[in-house]
Amino acid sequence: MLTRRTMLRGLAGGAGAVAATPLCREAQARGARHLPDGALGLLFDGTLCIGCRACMAACKEANDLPAEHTALTIGNYWDAPLDISGETLNVIKCYREGAGTKKDEVKDGFAFTKVSCMHCVDPSCVSACPVSAMTKDQVTGVVKYNVDACIGCRYCVAACPFNVPRFTFDTPDPHISKCQLCYHRAVDGKYAACAEVCPTGATLFGPVIDLKAEIARRRALTPGAETTYPRGKIGGTDTYRGAAGRYVARTYGEHEIGGTQVMHLSGVPFELLNKPKLPSVAPARISESLQHAIYNNLIAPLGFLGALALLAWRNMRPKRDAAPPPTGGGS
Amino acid sequence: MSAAAEPRPDEAAPIGGRIWSPFIGVLALLVGVAGAVIAVRFLRGLGAVTNLSDGYPWGLWIAYDDVIGSALGASGFTVAFVVYILNRGQYHPMVRPALLTALFGYLLAGASVVIDLGRYWDFWHVFLPRYAQWNSVLLGVSLCMTAYTLVLFLELMPVVLEKLGWKRTRQKIDRLLFVVVAIGVVLPTIHQASLGSMLLVFGPQIDPLYQTQLLPVLFLSSTMGMGLAAVVIESSVTSLALRRPVERELLTKLMKVGQVVAAAFVVARFIDLAVRGQLGGLVVARPLVLLFWIETALFAAPVVLLWGPASHRPARVFVAAMAMAVAGILYRLDAYLVAYDTGAGWHYFPSLGELVVTIGLIAFEILAFIIAIRVLPVLPKLGGARAAAGPA
């Protein structure tokens, strides 16, 4: 009773089952992702930062986050977090060397840096997430998190090379935390709270294309010369007068894993600020290209399945035909 | 064609005997302690019992229970492949125990995923197209592993039907078993390779000695070696424990396949390192390099041990299988945990709670296996079996 029809039916069933495996209908090797047209981001200029941490307090308030307890050797503090966490999305950190008196100098100096989501052009967290809880906004490029989709697998936490998405390990009802560029405030005509409150314009909000132009402008200035900086968001009326910075050559975020929408300028090398040294090709691009090549619209897996099914069918004929099967094995 | 003339493999039968014993008691105790730790995890969160952090968000439960547990469970698919696809019917007595080991391995991998998932009550999101994110390697792995666990149930259906005596259902299932077997080879092939691909998106956070586009190939080949080794170890231990004759011929032949796989793994790995210009990194003194060489020695052990005239000695075969299994385990632990570095200041070593849960899951696996072979027709019926399997 083992007919060709049975076999074909079996193969069809097999195809259905494998179709439930990760298939990708997109083209195979995928190219680099590009900045969305309406990309929004931040520019953090460490030479302007005075370390007041108003941005950290504003971030907590805007995102309705609880105060965090920090045990330091000099005492116990509330809301002096040393790093981002499940309850803190933005932290200003300080580099210090020797006497620590000269701003933005390596020797005997100090410098500030900001730690928060970089809003990658090709984010690893979005590529990793199995359930679309991490998404990149098509228009603004903001990397958003949806707790209602999240299953708490923490693949995003592990995947991010900037170590940004964080997880609340100490609760039975956990979630991922990360900066979402205050996109929820846009409906009220507001923008990223950290930039809004920054007194010196060290954190500046705006379209990435404008921020890049502003970076070019600052780099062209003579260090020390007085200049006018936009404050809050780019293109606004609020300004700040200050001396032009002396920058290291690199803009952090320009090329890192395919570029990011948050960019950093600094007076000291980024390695000293604990910014990871990263390649310019996005790991997500490598990972997805390889996956697409393997699955290739399921041609290879299905062909493999068909061949195996045929061999298994020939080798597993029912007991009673003790005689060798007729050659060809077709029917 | 010659294989078609082979006698059909002999029947399987429950081995019977008393289920309760002091050993079973110890296993049950380990399972109980693990259950208590799991209860604390569900009541108070992952942080209460694990050493996980934002720098090491994945720990022992992912690396051992899922990645390694499922690879050892590959015994099911490698043996099914050898018996049904390569038509080496003489290995048939190995099929059922291998499938059973695989089923427990995968069920427990699934269980530990639920324990490890922060928002486990929403785990079903991976099955809904509405949430699917097809670029995620993890989504593919989740779907494949779930599907394969179901396939394992189907592959083991004849065991249960035999026990129940439902002959007609059994015959119907037997006729379609070839499809199930084929799917049961394709799915593990895909997801065991993908368990390697999972690390690709970690990019430079994985040490260059381990981060390579060859990850899927390295994971798949070492999985096959681990699967074969698991069959040999499980069969040897069962034979010794139950004072049944050791399947010397079969185990040796299976490990010979393992020998080829291990050799292929080592060669592929060194070619990959050479192509990527990383060979220089192998002479730098640091812990990961030491671990790399230990792995390489363990992978090379079966290749060397099974060479030459003395390779048929059961002790050799057993040691080769142990080396192969430990090699695969170490390679996975290193790739997932030791080679992973997300920046200064982060450290991870499994907590007592994590270890207790992992040990408890392994104990449960052994416990369930012992009970299953006592009440279900899994192991070959004794008497006459050896003669049939004899000539090579």
Q: Is a pLDDT exceeding 60 seen at residue A320?
A: no
Strand partners, A71: A76
- As given in the structure block, the two tokens for residue B275 are 């192509």
- Cβ-based contacts of B84 with chain A (< 8 Å): 311-312, 315-316
Query: Between A123 and A22, whose confidence is greater?
Result: A123
Per DSSP, the three-state class of B193 is helix
Strand partners, A40: A207
A77 interfacial to chain B (CB closer than 8 Å): no
CA distance B154 to A11: 16
Residue with tokens 């197209």: B129
Which tens digits make up the pLDDT trace of A3-57? 444 444 444 444 444 433 333 333 346 888 999 999 999 999 999 999 999 999 9
Return the pLDDT at A223. 94
- Cβ-based contacts of A315 with chain B (< 8 Å): 3-4, 84-85, 87, 89, 178
CA distance A229 to A239: 6
Residue type, B264: A
A186 interfacial to chain B (CB closer than 8 Å): no
Report the first-to-last Cα separation within chain A, whole angstroms: 10
Q: Inter-chain contact A305–B186, Cβ cutoff 8 Å?
A: yes
Q: Is a pLDDT exceeding 50 seen at residue A321?
A: no
Taking CA–CA distances from A83, the nearest residue in chain B reads B54
Q: Inter-chain contact A287–B5, Cβ cutoff 8 Å?
A: no
Q: CA–CA distance from B183 to each of A32, A308, B178 (Å)?
A: 35, 8, 9
Residue with tokens 């990397």: A143
CA distance A302 to A289: 19
CA distance B171 to A253: 64
Q: CA–CA distance from A149 to each of A41, A131, B22, B120, B121 (Å)?
A: 25, 6, 46, 11, 11
DSSP A71-131: EETTEEEES--SS-BTTBS-EEEEEE-TT--EET-STTEEEEEEES---BSS-HHHHH-TT
Which tens digits make up the pLDDT trace of A163-212? 999 999 999 999 999 999 999 999 999 999 999 999 999 999 999 999 99
Strand partners, A243: A226
Residue type, B212: T
Which tens digits make up the pLDDT trace of A236-287? 899 999 999 999 999 999 999 999 999 999 999 999 999 999 999 999 999 9
Return the pLDDT at A327. 41
- Cβ-based contacts of B183 with chain A (< 8 Å): 14, 17-18, 305
Query: Between A91 and A67, whose confidence is greater?
Result: A91
A25 CA to chain B: closest CA distance, Å?
9
B248 CA to chain A: closest CA distance, Å?
24
Query: Between B248 and A324, whose confidence is greater?
Result: B248
Q: Inter-chain contact B203–A157, Cβ cutoff 8 Å?
A: no
- As given in the structure block, the two tokens for residue A330 are 């077709």
Helix residue ranges, H only, chain A:
4-19, 54-62, 124-128, 155-159, 193-197, 208-220, 283-295, 299-315
A2 interfacial to chain B (CB closer than 8 Å): yes
At what angle are helices B22-44 and B352-375 packed, to 10 degrees?
130
Which candidate, A289, A31, A285, A283, places its Cα nearest to that of A159? A283
Return the pLDDT at B170. 79
Which candidate, B262, B257, B223, places its Cα nearest to that of B144? B223
Quote the Cα angle for B41-B43-B44, to 5°: 70
Q: What is the mean pLDDT of chain A?
A: 87
CB A164 within 8 A of CB A117: yes
CA distance A38 to A141: 7
Low-confidence residues in chain B, pLDDT < 70: 1-10, 383-392
Strand partners, A103: A110
Buried b (16+ CB within 10 A) or exposed e, B359-387: ebbbbbbbbbbbebbbebbbbbeeeebee
Which of A20, A159, A166 has its CB closest to that of B201? A159
Q: Is the ipTM of this complex over 0.85?
A: yes
Taking CA–CA distances from B203, the nearest residue in chain A reads A283
At what angle are helices B92-116 and B215-241 packed, to 10 degrees?
120
Which tens digits make up the pLDDT trace of A161-175? 999 999 999 999 999
CA distance B142 to B62: 13
Residue type, B198: M
CA distance B366 to B361: 9
CB pairs under 8 A between A and B: 238
Return the pLDDT at A182. 97
- Cβ-based contacts of A257 with chain B (< 8 Å): 203
CA distance A109 to A98: 7
Return the pLDDT at A13. 43
Return the pLDDT at B389. 39
A270 interfacial to chain B (CB closer than 8 Å): no
Interface of A with B in 18-57 (CB under 8 A): 18, 20-25
Q: What is the mean pLDDT of chain B?
A: 88
Return the pLDDT at A298. 80
